[in-house]
Amino acid sequence: MRLSRRRFLMTTGTAAAGLAAPHWRIDAAAYEPGLSSAIKNELADIAVALARQLGASYGDIRINRYRIERISTRERQVQDVSLDQTFGFGVRVLVKGSWGFASSSEVTPDEVRRVTQEAVDIAKANASRQRKPVQFLEVPAVKANWRSAFKEDPFDVPIEQNIATLLKVNEAALAVSGVGFVNSSIAWVNEQKFYASTDGSRIEQYIIRGYPDFTVTAVDRGAGDFQTRDALGGPQGMGYEYLRNHDWVKEAKTAGEEAVMKLKAKRVTPGKYDLVLHPSHLWLTIHESVGHSTELDRALGFEANYAGTSFLTPDKAGKLQFGARHVNFFADRTQPAGLATVAYDDEGVPGQKWYLVRDGVFVDWQTTRDLAPLIGRKNSYGCLHSQSWRDVPFPRMPNVSLEPGKEDVSLDQLVADVENGILIYGNGSFSIDQQRYNFQFGGQTFWEIKQGKITGMLRDVAYQSRTTDFWNSCDGLGGQSTYALGGSFTDGKGEPPQSNAVSHGCPVARFRNVNVLNTDSKQGGGTGAETC
Amino acid sequence: MLTERETRKICDTLLELTKADDAVVDVSERIGGNQRFAANAFNTNGSSRERRFSITVWMDKRRGSASGTEFDDAALRRAAEQAEHIAKLSPVDVEYLPTLGPQKYKPVNGFVDATAQLSAAWRAKQLGGILGQCDKANVVGAGIFQSGAVSRASATRHGNFEFEQSTSASLSMTARTPDGTSSGYGLHNHFDVDRLDIAGVARRAVEKAQAGRDAQRLEPGVYPVILEPQAVGDILGFFGRAFDARNADEGRSPMSAPGGKTLLGRPVFDPKINFYSDPWHPELPGSQAAQDGVPAQKVHLVRGGTVENLAYSRFWAEKSGKEPTPGPVNQIFESTGATHSLTEMIAGAERALLLTRFWYIRMVNPRTQLLTGLTRDGVWLVENGKVKHPVRNFRFNQSVMQMLAPGNVEMIGKPERVGGLYPALKLKAFTFSSESDAV
């Protein structure tokens, strides 16, 4: 069957007629309606049948559209407003125990045939030299249509509302004496994903994510110094309600005051401190030290050339005391507002929740259909993901979160039991080694704690530790009321590198006796740090 | 691949579709293939073909942009209307400058048809050979071979049009000993696959892994170091961005100076250092077009250790009474005079650490360009002119400004293609802040 472009447009035009007009639809032609389910299914039929005919034991096709709306401003001006779209498909096949993947932006029946043939040719070229045939789990066929749990689709909200909010944010920051600059931005992402496989699955998902952000800069030109304070909110798997409900303008004023305060803040003295870490900071430490270390593909050496391996080798599951006994980490692809929340992953496995660390012991991995059999598992946790139709799907991180304490302990209660410590908000500089042992994190604001009281602001703070030392030094967790979700819009992994959005929830938490260094090179460039 | 004629036709169509006062359109096609290997077996792979366009319009100096991958008339028209719609809703773009009229470009030679046409079977054969070498050497190999080609065109309402094609091929590989106690790394890339040193990449990775066994502990601290070209390329990845003129003038850059001044014209770096961009470099061709289509030129950011240029955007140049900077379009770091081989650097070292590369480098202090990161895939102690033994990895916290300061750079090697063109460096002092267990 050959579908003409005219037929595509006729069909999609009909499909669009029943939808509410988004703001892009200033007139009918300005609306990009997408391809109808019927046509996607017809294209899928072609790919699946041809893959089977050419000898594939498994095959899938993903036909996806990605929309990204970006607005960026500085001070009192808008710098850029853009709507980027990319539409295409990728075909993945398993032939004689080897993978083949090919993709194209030309979504036509003939191109689907060409690309499917190319994917099979790649798999066959590799099969002749493949030493370890891929083992692949069977999963039940699924028919599903799912939308992520946003309340207001940001692509239906007039663009000027977004612009107005950003300019108000900028104005609030600039009203603070001493603030020199402010940059603000919003990125809204919509993924329209269609997946079909030789399993018989047909899954459509409509996903929304948002990332409002700002950076306020205070400059001391006389001293040649400048300090910044970024927004603490971060990206969320939410719609326009995130921009509407969070008080960005109030936070921008606070950020301006804190950026100015940082210029004159007391410089930290390197040494050992107790740390109280706010969720706006701790999510990133979880991401790097827990999220990535529990990826099974890393543990098996599949990422050895770039992202690295993991100190959590397969023999450590169920044995290694990863953290203190009250430390529990769970993975969850169903978490509300999670950036990695989906109904199904990119090979038809349902989103689910499971523990990675329980009672402080490392217990489990992040898996996919071809990873799980390598450790004797009969089910996948659904962690396969691709950043686009263009790229091959591979194991990516689900939302990984730290459970709050059983009692509703507050931030103030955790601070009260610290004699000499630092309270840290927001994520700053971050770095961790290729096996996830040694890490260093900065932050946005640092507050000195003396005898249980916050006594003032510090600057130039970073801490270094070793993953298991750090999590075993955790002696206090905030309760559910302190729990919040942070996350990354662009977590990189793989070759060629791919980006993944992922959330990490956590309560405020306290860590004892952590190594802190001063990051102002005039003060020693970190040489005051001790060995971790 | 899209030809010049085809891209011109699409550009003309897009420009005709908008009634905006001013517009710039871009059209590109990117084809590519890759094959990964890990644990001495083939891993994921991919072959991709993507055509893209973008359109940016200004209506009464209000700006809007849209892009897409669908090229039928209706899709192009929708994108033009979306861009116009955004422009109508946007405030005036106070940094608007009219798009460029016709420009003259000196072509860059960075396209080789054989590189664009590489097949999956050819890739599999090459990587199959590498897996065989890993078996023989008793190491565990992981890596990626990538190749691709890009056709790209840009056109403006005011009559400029430019088109160019480029290719790339690269191989990187990590070899690890089966017990996981040592690893080595190699990387090479080129626009001509026939000049890609496939055997050399595999040899370096394997030799380093084999030589790195039984690494010993060494206290962190300040050490003289010999950085191999890959390590220099890694740590100078942020360096080019430090030269933005606007940030320097606004007082928020390592190129800002007290009193509202900048470091332009000052001897900030070691006098042996040149750092520049050259679109026509035979080993590292850049693009014929710099920012907004300004014809690219050779630009020295640092010459003889002195900051010779900061990078002015068209807007900031207009505001500052300067010319827009015709680059950078690539990064080349080289010695102003004599160069030294790694062997000479080692022979001349009383005590130093020899480093293969760095990993997970992040900015800690943008004012001083203080970076943190870790060593990876091979650290050796050099004593009395000889490589003594491998050393375990470190975390570093080091200011690039201090690292390249006068007096800290003892020797500079010949540049090699490791992303940009970077030489080995022998440095008097480099700060390691803690030890890492990672291999």
Q: Is the pLDDT of residue A17 over 90?
A: no
Closest CA to A182 of A23, A75, A85, A294: A75
Q: Give how far B147 is from chain A: nearest CA, Å.
A: 11
In a mutational test of the B interface, the residue from A433, A436, A465, A516 whose CB has the highest number of chain B CBs within 10 Å is A433
Exposed, middle or buried: residue A247 (CB in 10 Å: 0-12, 13-18, 19+)?
exposed
Q: Give how far B230 is from chain A: nearest CA, Å.
A: 14
At A386-427, the pLDDT tens digits run 999 999 999 999 999 999 999 999 999 999 999 999 999 999
Of chain B residues 139-198, which have a CB less than 8 A from chain A? 140, 142-144, 146, 172-174, 176, 180, 183, 185
Q: A515 and chain B: CB distance < 8 Å anywhere?
A: yes
Which residues are within 8 A (CB) of A78 and not within 5 positions of it... i.e. 6 or more apart?
A71, A72, A163, A166, A167, B63, B90, B91, B93
Q: Which two tokens stand for residue A30?
A: 């300005």
Query: In whole angstroms, what is the distance from residue B94 CA to residue B79 CA?
Result: 24
Contact A222 B359 (CB under 8 A): no
Q: How confident is the model over A488-494, as a mean pLDDT?
A: 96
What share of chain A has pLDDT > 70, as a percent?
91
Report the amino acid identity of residue B53: F
Query: In whole angstroms, what is the distance from residue A392 CA to residue A379 CA?
Result: 21
Strands A453-459 and A266-267: parallel
Q: Which two tokens stand for residue A434?
A: 């290729």
Distances (CA, A) of B193 to A237, B113, B167, B284, B414: 43, 10, 9, 13, 22
Q: A29 and chain B: CB distance < 8 Å anywhere?
A: yes
Q: Which of residues A38 and A31 earns the better pLDDT score?
A: A38
- How many other C-beta atoms can be found within 10 angstroms of the C-beta atom of residue A34? 19
Q: Is the pLDDT of residue A28 over 80?
A: no
What share of chain A has pLDDT > 90, as a percent?
88
pLDDT of residue A1: 37
Q: B103 and chain A: CB distance < 8 Å anywhere?
A: no
Q: Is the pLDDT of residue A167 over 80?
A: yes
pLDDT of residue B75: 94
Contact A433 B360 (CB under 8 A): yes
Q: Give how far A465 is from chain B: nearest CA, Å.
A: 9
Q: Which residues on adjacent β-strands are paired with residue A194?
A: A63, A204
Task: Give me the interface pTM, i.e. the ipTM.
Answer: 0.94
Q: Which of A57-61, A124-128, A505-509, B31-35 bottoms out in mean pLDDT, i.e. has the lowest?
A: A124-128
pLDDT of residue A4: 35
User: Can you say whether the dihedral through the CA atoms of B217, B222, B227, B232 is positive or negative?
Assistant: positive
Helix axes B4-17, B73-89, angle to 10 degrees: 50
Q: Give how far A381 is from chain B: nearest CA, Å.
A: 20
Q: Give how far A334 is from chain B: nearest CA, Å.
A: 27
Report the amino acid identity of residue B197: D
Of chain A residues 410-469, which have a CB less than 8 A from chain B? 429-438, 440, 442, 460, 462, 464, 466
Q: Give how far A178 is from chain B: nearest CA, Å.
A: 13
Contact B124 A85 (CB under 8 A): no
Helix axes A248-264, A159-174, angle to 10 degrees: 30
Nearest to B41 among A31, A131, A181 (CB): A131
- Residues of chain A in contact with residue B176, where contact means CB-CB under 8 angstroms, are 301, 304
Contact A126 B45 (CB under 8 A): yes
Nearest to A226 among B54, B91, B252 (CB): B252
Q: Are residues B250 and A218 in contact, defined by beta-carbon separation less than 8 angstroms?
A: no
pLDDT band at A527, cuts 50/70/90? very low
Report the amino acid identity of residue A4: S
At A354-369, the pLDDT tens digits run 999 999 999 999 999 9
pLDDT of residue A24: 34
In the Cβ-directed half-sphere of A490, how many Cα atoms lie within 13 Å?
4
pLDDT of residue B129: 94
Q: Is the pLDDT of residue A12 over 60?
A: no
Closest CA to A531 of B379, B255, B433, B278: B433
Exposed, middle or buried: residue A349 (CB in 10 Å: 0-12, 13-18, 19+)?
buried
Q: A100 and chain B: CB distance < 8 Å anywhere?
A: yes
In a mutational test of the B interface, the residue from A438, A493, A522 whose CB has the highest number of chain B CBs within 10 Å is A438
In the Cβ-directed half-sphere of B432, how many Cα atoms lie within 13 Å?
27
Contact A83 B131 (CB under 8 A): no
In a mutational test of the B interface, the residue from A72, A168, A267, A521 whose CB has the highest number of chain B CBs within 10 Å is A521
pLDDT band at A33, cuts 50/70/90? low
Q: Is the pLDDT of residue A9 over 70?
A: no
Which residues are within 8 A (CB) of A281 and not within 5 positions of it... i.e. 6 or more apart?
A424, A425, A426, A427, A441, A443, A444
Taking 70 as the pLDDT cut, the residues of chain B under it are none
Q: What is the pTM of this model?
A: 0.94
- Residues of chain A in contact with residue B52, where contact means CB-CB under 8 angstroms, are 86, 105
pLDDT of residue A522: 55
The CA-based dihedral angle spanning residues A168, A174, A180, A182, taken in that order and rounded to the nearest 10 degrees: -20
Q: B73 and chain A: CB distance < 8 Å anywhere?
A: no
What residue in A sits closest to B146 (Cα-Cα)?
A496
Mind giving me the DSSP string for B311-325? B--HHHHHHHT-PPP
User: Can you say whether the dihedral through the CA atoms of B11, B13, B17, B19 is positive or negative?
Assistant: positive
Q: Which two tokens stand for residue A98?
A: 């080897």
Q: Are residues A439 and B369 in contact, defined by beta-carbon separation less than 8 angstroms?
A: no
Residue ranges in B18-151 assigned as alpha helix (H): 73-89, 113-116, 120-137
Contact A496 B34 (CB under 8 A): yes
At A425-472, the pLDDT tens digits run 999 999 999 999 999 999 999 999 999 999 999 999 999 999 999 999
